[in-house]
Structure formats: structure tokens, C-alpha cells
Amino acid sequence: MNCRHEIPNYDMILWYQRSHIDTELKLIGYVYFEQMTIEKSFKNFFNVSGNGKKYSTLHLLQLRASEDSTVYFCAAYYHSFAESSFIKQTPELLCKSTESVTINCSHSGTVFNMIVWYKQLRNGRMLLMGYLYRTNINTEPEFQEKLDLEGNGATNSSLTLKRLSQDDSAVYFCAAQTSQ
């Protein structure tokens, strides 16, 4: 599979596999400039090539039955060491069942207009929960009854988890990015 972009200053192309069971995206690997990286669980099955500033190819080396018969995504990304250091997220929280909890995220990166929220499962996989693009809020369907998002993707966001249960015990991440 091939992926191309013409976005100035973007220097990375990431490849994801979407589970056919739910909306979970698994990072397969990425190309940063001309450096290729494959995630450990995909090492013997996939490879990537290309140049993150323009194009990338995802190579399927060995088919694993129905597991690899699914939807694949590529994403162009602007990796900035200077900007990424300005993201702040509230510290670790411990909460009781049935309570609600709010996690805050802010950034001062001038190029970002979007804040994305992820839940990391125990197996390390990341689930997209929702995002704010400027003041527009988008919550993934399976999380609409579970959380509230507020804020402005250009500066800050809060994620409120309602009616906590054991299934909510996880690591939550926010990420700032630019959406075209």
C-alpha cells in the first residue's frame, strides 16, 4: 500500500491497522524522514519504506489469516521537538467507583488547533476516545455516554469520565496536533 502527501514541513508518515471488531487503531510503524520503525508485534509481518516528507509504502510480508484482513490507514504528521514540550496533562489520579473525574490538558504550541484524547488498554493498544478541533467536539460512538469533552483545541481541553467502573482503570493521553 502506498501513501503520499504534499504538506509542507510534515516529516513523518504513520501506518495504522484498524481492528475489524471495533474502532481500535494499532500503530504498525512509521517513517520519520528516511528512518523506518516497526512496532514489536508487527516486526515479522510488515515493513515500511519511503521518506516521511513525501511518501511511504506499507509492505505485507506474511499474511496472518483474518487478523490482517482489515482496514489500513496512513497519516502524515508534523513532528516538532520544540512544540511537543509545551503539552501539559494533569498528574496520575486514583478514584473510587461511581465517581466522575476530570483530566485537563493544555498546550501553548502556536501551530496546533486540535487536542486528541486516547485511552491505553492494558495490552498497550490505544483507543481514540474523541477530539476537539478548535471548539468543535467529536466523541467516538462507544464513548458518548461515558465522557464529556470541553475546551478549545487551540489551547486546552478537559476530559470528564462519568460513572467510573473497573473498566475505566487505564492510562489516558492527550495529544496536540494540527488539522488541515
- Model pLDDT for residues 136-152, shown as the tens digit of each residue: 999 999 999 999 999 99
Looking at the predicted structure, is the pLDDT value of residue 20 above 80?
no
> Is 59 in contact with 47 (CB distance < 8 Å)?
yes
Q: Over range 85-109, report the average pLDDT.
A: 72
Question: Where in the sequence of the chain do the CATH 2.60.40.10 domains occur?
Answer: 2-77, 85-177
Q: Quote the CATH superfamily of domain 85-177.
A: Immunoglobulins (2.60.40.10)
CATH for 2-77 (3.20.20.150, 2.130.10.30, 2.60.40.10, 3.40.50.300): 2.60.40.10
Position 171 scores a pLDDT of: 82
Percent of the chain predicted with pLDDT > 90: 33
> Is 18 in contact with 77 (CB distance < 8 Å)?
no
Which pLDDT band, with edges at 50, 70 and 90, does 98 fall under? confident
What are the backbone angles phi and psi of residue 135, rounded to the nearest 5°?
-105, 5
Which pLDDT band, with edges at 50, 70 and 90, does 49 fall under? very high
Position 109 scores a pLDDT of: 75
What does DSSP say about strands 147-152 and 71-77: parallel, antiparallel, or unpaired? unpaired
Torsion of CA 116, 70, 63, 50, to 10 degrees: -50
Position 83 scores a pLDDT of: 45
Closest CA to 52 of 6, 98, 108: 6
Looking at the predicted structure, is the pLDDT value of residue 133 above 90?
yes
